[in-house]
Amino acid sequence: MALSSLKGDAVPVVTRSRNDMPLIEDTLEMLEKQSVPLSLIAFDNDSQDGTKELLQKHAQQVHRVAAGTYVPGRVLNRGMEASGDSEWVVFLNSDCTPADAFWLEELVQGFEDQHTGAVFGRQMPRDDCSTLFAKDTEYTFGDGSRQKYWKHCFSMASSAVRRSCWEQMPFSTELQYSEDIDWTWRAVQSGWKIRYMAESRVYHSHNYTLSQFARRHRGEGAAEAVIFPWSSWERSFLRYSLLPYMRQVASDVRYCMKYRDVLQACYAPVLRFAQLAGRRRGFIEGIKMKEKGS
């Protein structure tokens, strides 16, 4: 599928869902307004809130993922297989709502370069997002300028994959977190480019509890330990945990005071400690697993 033919070909869009009412209603409404035609392929993880029934009215394909069997990479591989032989496949979480009618068209423009293996779009906080989580979303995405400070940045939530790149290296079915980081990191090591398309925008954010936030970072820390190489200095408590904690709390306070949110500024040390504790615990578990397997 050439970019010049987008107006005539249906772009396969794969979505993953589990009990995403009512956000999925907004997502499906915006998908119907896209400037280019699309074909929706849904993978639903045994939703019980009406999500599955709504998808059956809008999607060209609805596939069941039985409760308790969800493995991210396995479902992503199934999505690639279900999309036929299209040159690229778009992925959109069911709670990611396109901001306008050009989300899809802007996203796939990233494939103009034949060496691009995957693209990902900008995520923006919803109106009900708390200040600190809104900051995390804006700092991770935004205009993309801060991404250079990370080892690697990518998000499957609003993204697209070139089929030939995926055929070279399918998604890992061993990881429960950061399977998208793992896949694109391997792609980059193999010579593919990953592009950030800031003009392709979706609304996507979460207000985690402390336990939810710590659990998420524990999973990401474990995956990160396995995915990337680490020197002894990089894996130390000072470098990996304490210094980032101090920098992040200071940054949080400045950001919150900019919006005169004193309560969130006071909450920042608590939230970031939950992040530190969860991520450090997961990182150590991941390092041990990696060393055991080597």
Structural domains for the chain: 6-203 (3.90.550.10), 210-293 (no CATH)
- Smallest CA-to-CA distance from 116 within 200, 183, 195 is with 195
pLDDT value at position 22? 95
Q: Is 90 exceeded by the pLDDT of residue 27? A: yes
- Label residue 215 by pLDDT band (50, 70, 90): very high
Within 10 angstroms of residue 180's Cβ, the number of other Cβ atoms is: 22
- Label residue 8 by pLDDT band (50, 70, 90): low
Q: Is 80 exceeded by the pLDDT of residue 276? A: yes
pLDDT tens for each residue of 74-103: 999 999 999 999 999 999 999 999 999 999
Looking up tokens 């992503």, which residue turns up? 76
pLDDT value at position 44? 97
pLDDT value at position 294? 61
Average pLDDT for residues 120-139, to the nearest whole number? 97
> How far apart are the C-alpha atoms of 181 and 176, rounded to whole Å?
12
- Label residue 6 by pLDDT band (50, 70, 90): low
- Label residue 149 by pLDDT band (50, 70, 90): confident
Q: What angle do CA 16, 18, 24 make, to 5 degrees?
A: 75
With beta carbons less than 8 A apart as the criterion, state whether 90 and 70 touch. Answer: no
Query: Which amino acid belongs to residue 255?
Result: Y
DSSP code, position 19? S
> How far apart are the C-alpha atoms of 101 and 13, rounded to whole Å?
15
> pTM, whole model, 2 decimals?
0.94
pLDDT tens for each residue of 34-58: 999 999 999 999 999 999 999 999 9
* pLDDT averaged over every residue in the chain: 95
Residues 6+ positions from 266 with CB-CB distance below 8 Å:
none
- Label residue 293 by pLDDT band (50, 70, 90): confident
270, two tokens? 């608590």
DSSP code, position 174? S
Which ranges in the chain belong to alpha helices (H)?
Answer: 23-31, 51-58, 72-82, 103-108, 131-140, 163-168, 179-189, 210-227, 237, 243-258, 262-293
Q: Is 60 exceeded by the pLDDT of residue 236? A: yes
Side-chain half-sphere exposure of 268, counting CA atoms within 13 A? 23
